[in-house]
Amino acid sequence: MAGKLRAAAASKDVFRRIRDVVGAKGVVPDSEAAPFLADQRGLYRGRAALIVRPASVEEVAEVVRLCAGAQVPVVPQGGNTGLVGASVPTESGGEIVVNLSRLNRIREIDALNNTLSAEAGCILADVRAAAAAAGRHFPLSMGSEGSCEIGGVLSTNAGGTEVLRYGMARDLVLGVEVVLPDGRVLDLMRRLRKDNTGYDLKQLFLGAEGTLGIVTAAVLKLFPKPVETATALVALRGLDSVPEFLARARAAANDAVTSFEYISGFGLSLVLSHMPGAENPLGRVFDHLVLIELSSADATSGLSERLERLLAAALETGIVTDAALARSEAQRAALWRLRETVPEAQTREGASIKHDVSVPVSAVPAFIEQASAAVTAALPGIRPVAFGHAGDGNIHFNLTQPEGADGAAFLARWADFNRLVHDIALAQGGSISAEHGIGRLKREEFARTAAPLEIEIMRRLKAALDPHGIMNPGKLL
Ligand SMILES: Cc1cc2nc3c(=O)[nH]c(=O)nc-3n(C[C@H](O)[C@H](O)[C@H](O)COP(=O)(O)OP(=O)(O)OC[C@H]3O[C@@H](n4cnc5c(N)ncnc54)[C@H](O)[C@@H]3O)c2cc1C
């Protein structure tokens, strides 16, 4: 009893000292805590002993040092737009949320070196805007870019709509600064394209979902700013035309193919039914569509003509059955809205079970066909909505409840459908998480499907860096 009282008094003292470190502005009052405790989808709602918003790297380091001393678990949090429940505390009530949003300085833009150094709390859209203002391009783009932050984006190794050309977050980082689980600051803020001095430690923290430390800043790669884009919504003859049309596009336009997004006909019909102002430029809804975008930093590259020639040739061979080219920036934005509002439209149609899988691009048709057949056999009337970054082999294979079914009863089968769909992706040489990570949502599935040796190595790395297991417990591993 005396031991318990002493422990309670000690953690009370730690929380008081942490409050002193961040000051009044850095503590979120209970009345404003709710948005920091629940995830985007409302699947997870946790409790926290304290929510702090440090304003400098020194404050983050001191907070973590105090937590390490008292073994208080820490949940790093950015924009809280993650989709796997990794950025919110568990229900234990003993964790501290360290929200990085106030660490939001762009430290440097080095236009000649093509790098931008940004703190973890910088909003992704602001980083893209700062790069554009310097005549450069930061090529991470996704639906959440107005609220997700650099620290979160790197910690989830986010993807988005330009991966085909520029790679995932992991490919766009030259350096990082990390507060380790003992409170020390690891400064790897190098701006080098070549650096072969031993293990590439920065990569450990990218995609680690906050389980190995807190990213406080990063050096990001910049690229020439695209000045010309050509965008089209394309109806394909069948699913097997998806990889074939991509291969033709890349042969015709090389690196200019920036985005290649699949939308199933059912997905498009939901957008047209539920999203105000959505219009189908093709007149009728085809079964299989892609949104293709080419971009170039060369104003004389004649991209629109190249895209038109590509489409004309594909129409002639029959793999493309119809296409609508964007003739203005407004039309381009309208085409992108059709793609980006698929998840929202799906939500309005009823309960949905989500998957974020990847397979080799060549296996996309087989995956969609097999997974659709398997879920329909398991629940007749279920409505698969496949869409996503097909050019990266990344399909969001979401399942809408049968019409008139009970949503809660449908969602109760989430784990069963996950298992079914994941096994099909794995059989195609795929992954159960292409871009959203593992978090809490896929922890069991990850443990079930990963090779034991992979898990063992991950656990050893975790134990080496975080021996007391205070960084984001209950997530990923
Ligand atoms: C509408 C919408 C569209 C999306 N589209 C895409 C998409 O196309 N591609 C894609 O990849 N993802 C997409 N996402 C999910 C994506 O993971 C997030 O938007 C983004 O990467 C997370 O950033 P965040 O700042 O919100 O991080 P959070 O949600 O706050 O955190 C995510 C994870 O990172 C950890 N973390 C956060 N900050 C730090 C830090 N500084 N140091 C260490 N760990 C940290 C958290 O603990 C958690 O594990 C989308 C989400 C939404 C809501």
Query: What does the pLDDT look like over 245-267, one tens digit per residue?
Result: 999 999 999 889 999 999 999 99
Q: pTM value? A: 0.94
Instruction: Centre a 10 Å sphere on the Cβ of residue 413 and count the other Cβ atoms it contains.
Output: 16
Q: What is the mean pLDDT of residues 46-71?
A: 97
pLDDT above 70 covers a percentage of the chain that reads 98
Q: Which helix (H) or strand (E) holds 369?
A: helix 364-378
pLDDT at 9: 60
246 Cβ closer than 6 Å to some ligand 1 atom: no
Compute, in angstroms, the gap from residue 150 CA to the centroid of ligand 1: 9
pLDDT tens readout for residues 85-103: 999 999 999 999 999 999 9
476 Cβ closer than 6 Å to some ligand 1 atom: no
pLDDT at 135: 96
Compute, in angstroms, the gap from residue 109 CA to the centroid of ligand 1: 23
Taking a C-beta distance cutoff of 8 angstroms, is the pair 59, 26 a contact?
A: yes
346 alpha carbon, distance to own chain's centre = 19
R_g over Cα of the chain: 23
pLDDT tens readout for residues 278-288: 999 999 999 99
CA 289/CA 284 separation, integer angstroms = 12
Taking a C-beta distance cutoff of 8 angstroms, is the pair 28, 36 a contact?
A: yes
Q: What is the mean pLDDT of residues 442-470?
A: 97
pLDDT at 345: 97
99 Cβ closer than 6 Å to some ligand 1 atom: no
Q: How many residues does the chain have?
A: 477
Ligand 1: which of 148, 440, 476 to mutate, judged by most atoms within 8 Å of the beta carbon?
Answer: 148
Structure tokens at 423: 């096994």
Confidence of residue 62 (pLDDT cuts 50, 70, 90): very high
83 Cβ closer than 6 Å to some ligand 1 atom: yes
Ligand 1: which of 51, 97, 156 to mutate, judged by most atoms within 8 Å of the beta carbon?
Answer: 156
86 Cβ closer than 6 Å to some ligand 1 atom: yes
CA 432/CA 422 separation, integer angstroms = 6
Ligand 1: which of 52, 77, 176 to mutate, judged by most atoms within 8 Å of the beta carbon?
Answer: 77
Taking a C-beta distance cutoff of 8 angstroms, is the pair 216, 119 a contact?
A: yes
* Burial (Cβ within 10 Å: 0-12, 13-18, ≥19) of residue 184: middle
User: In angstroms, how far apart are the furthest CA atoms of the chain?
Assistant: 83
Confidence of residue 11 (pLDDT cuts 50, 70, 90): confident
CA 280/CA 324 separation, integer angstroms = 9
pLDDT tens readout for residues 143-186: 999 999 999 999 999 998 999 999 999 999 999 999 999 999 99
Compute, in angstroms, the gap from residue 41 CA to the centroid of ligand 1: 13
Taking a C-beta distance cutoff of 8 angstroms, is the pair 150, 218 a contact?
A: yes
pLDDT at 346: 96
pLDDT tens readout for residues 218-249: 999 999 999 999 999 999 999 999 999 999 99
